[in-house]
Chains A and B, each alone.
Chain A
Amino acid sequence: MTENRDVVCKAEYEPPADELEQQVADVMAEVLGVDLVGRRDSFYDFGGTSLAAIRICARIERRLGFKVDPAWLLEYDELADFTEQIRLGAE
């Protein structure tokens, strides 16, 4: 069941700014069961749990080839910040 983002998030949707953000947003949306995830949307807005974080990170590792620690997502819970951590981790 996919939920409509605007039902949960009161803030205006801000689209992902680049390809990596878009790819991460797609994985988050898929795991959290929501149609869209914006740059400034929090993982917690969509009911994110540590288990959902592990699932998201496992899929990012497998599909995009980055090493990702679920702790990053739990701490940097907004899409743009989480993606930045992934980028830093890859350097």
Chain B
Amino acid sequence: MTAETDVPVPDVPAAYVPPPRSVHAAVAAHADRAPGALALVQGEERIDYRTLASAARVLAGRLTDWGVRPGDIVPLLLPRGAQLIALQLGVLMSGAAYATLDPRWPASRLAAILAQLDDPVVVGRPGGEPLGVTRTLAPGPLAALAAGAATRPFTPVRTAPDDLATVFFTSGSTGVPKGVLIPHRAVTRMFGPGGLDGFGPGHTTAQVAPGAWDMYAFELWGQLTTGGTCVVVEENHLMPGRLRALVAEQGVDTLWLTTSLFNLVVDEDPDAFAGLGTLYVGGEKQSPRHVARFLERFPDLPLWNGFGPAENCMLTTVHRMRPADTTVPTGIPVGRPVPGTTVLLLREDGTPAPRGERGEIVALGPGVALGYLNNATLTRERFPTLEIDGQRRRALRTGDLGLLDEHGVLHYHGRRDRQVKLSGNRIELGDIEAAAGALPEIRTCAAVARTDAGGTVEHIALVYTLAEGAELTARDVRRKLTGTLPAYAVPGRFEQLDELPRRENGKVDLSALERRPR
């Protein structure tokens, strides 16, 4: 299928389309309805909806004074927490969109992203590494910020559901991070009446995902746009013991975990899940063994497989996992579309694949991103306009392969390209090769993902040859790459060879390297 071709796709079932809402309007509606309801918890700080909304309005006023205007994209370089959440809400109230960047990323990567965003207002912590920060916000309780609301009133800007809300940066295949442009409607679409289980008044999620991830929005806005509560976990790594305390002491009942962390808790301390009401797991292929073990221990605890790329915000399909799923030969199904999303499969020639036949997974509906930041070519390629039942609709070509079974349940069959998922992180192997190839000591290199028997990526190996006369140990290569790649993308194995194996056509034999024993 070429990007310019419009493809007629018949027989797409009419999907439930929730009322489109902007993120901050949805939060404000709860602040008006139940101002005293608990919105956020961080350590000893307990913040109700009134305080959160007031603090966000004060910050929106400040952002406007700094020159932020509707349509801008404001980079935020703050650690996760209640204050960052109020600031994100403040950015949205000012009519702008936020891009949360991780202050722990290498300075060179942050600089590349800030150059793409090119916004004069970059908010960070005072006294930290400068990293392009132009405005600062000192840590402090939200109640103190909210107290200023009376003296500096601010009326939130009305935004349309199609307006940009946030930008997520993901690994790009050539070493340049890609910004995914997410509108308000994409964030709000799956929550609320008729939406996913586990959100709304009386429900509490733990916020653990990194701020730059789309699943951060799931944990956070899932509750705040429906009147629920979000507990901020300050640690970046959720330990089983901490999970136990979150459930027992903070009332956390809804949780999102990446597959590998779920597997770890099942292995190490499965009782830590006791008391949860709804558990979503995803970001990687599910391990049937771990799912089976969990379901034996908690047969009545709803365990959902959540699937989908950031370009169709947060989740595309979900599947309530049952013991029978753990014996499906092609793996645990990824399920049915979330509210407001339609999934279809396209053959390589662009025609729709009938049920039971493999094709590229294509998503339609309000979750589809507006495109990639400053990259019209890639946007046209991944977000074609398809003609469906006589209507022209924007679609996302996910690059994932799969099939719909006779019940309309989606099964995932891998990638069309060299993107891999490791511990829930999306990594382009080409990104790693670009970073390693930029080191003058390295002559040739290839990054390969090695999987376990179940097809889950175990580690990424960098296999390389050195330039003549260069002396570099594996530790050196690792250290240098931590300067350019985010920690999760730094390979776990480094293997120096005299020559890389080649195919007859001269290309590096990647499958030989994938099989190479550790």
Residue-wise, chain A 44-84 has the 8 Å CB interface mask toward B (1 for contact) of: 11011111011101110110000001110010000000000
Knowing A42-B475, A49-B423, the reply to whether A71 touches B235 (Cβ < 8 A) is yes
Q: Shortest CB–CB separation between residue A79 and chain B, in angstroms?
A: 15
Knowing A47-B493, A55-B268, the reply to whether A69 touches B473 (Cβ < 8 A) is no
A74 contacts B487, C-beta separation under 8 Å = yes
The stretch from B237-245, B288-296, B321-329 touching chain A is B237-245
A71 contacts B237, C-beta separation under 8 Å = yes
Q: Which residues of B contact A48 (CB under 8 A)?
A: 492
> How many of chain B's residues have a CB under 8 angstroms from any CB in A?
25
B261 contacts A51, C-beta separation under 8 Å = yes
Nearest neighbor of A10 in chain B, beta-carbon distance: B473
Neighbour of A54 across the interface among B264, B422, B493, CB < 8 A: B264
In the complex, what distance in Å separates the CA atom of A51 from the CA atom of B421? 13
B423 contacts A50, C-beta separation under 8 Å = yes
Q: Shortest CB–CB separation between residue B156 and chain A, in angstroms?
A: 37
B261 contacts A44, C-beta separation under 8 Å = no
Chain A 17-61 interface residues, beta-carbon cutoff 8 Å to B: 42, 44-45, 47-51, 53-55, 57-59, 61
Q: Which residues of A contact B239 (CB under 8 A)?
A: 54, 57-58, 61, 70
Q: Which residues of B contact A71 (CB under 8 A)?
A: 235-237
B413 within 8 A of A: no
Q: Which residues of A contact B260 (CB under 8 A)?
A: 51
In the complex, what distance in Å separates the CA atom of A67 from the CA atom of B459? 27
B66 within 8 A of A: no
Among B235, B239, B488: residue with most chain A CB under 10 A: B239
Nearest neighbor of B518 in chain A, beta-carbon distance: A3
Chain B 461-512 interface residues, beta-carbon cutoff 8 Å to A: 473-475, 478, 487-488, 492-493
A54 contacts B492, C-beta separation under 8 Å = no
B475 contacts A44, C-beta separation under 8 Å = yes
- 10 other contacts beyond A51-B423, A58-B268, A71-B236, with CB at 8 A cut-off? A1-B518, A45-B474, A45-B475, A50-B423, A50-B488, A54-B239, A57-B239, A61-B241, A62-B269, A71-B237
Of all A-B residue pairs in the complex, the 8 with the closest CB atoms, nearest first, are A47-B492, A70-B237, A58-B268, A51-B423, A54-B237, A47-B493, A51-B260, A58-B240
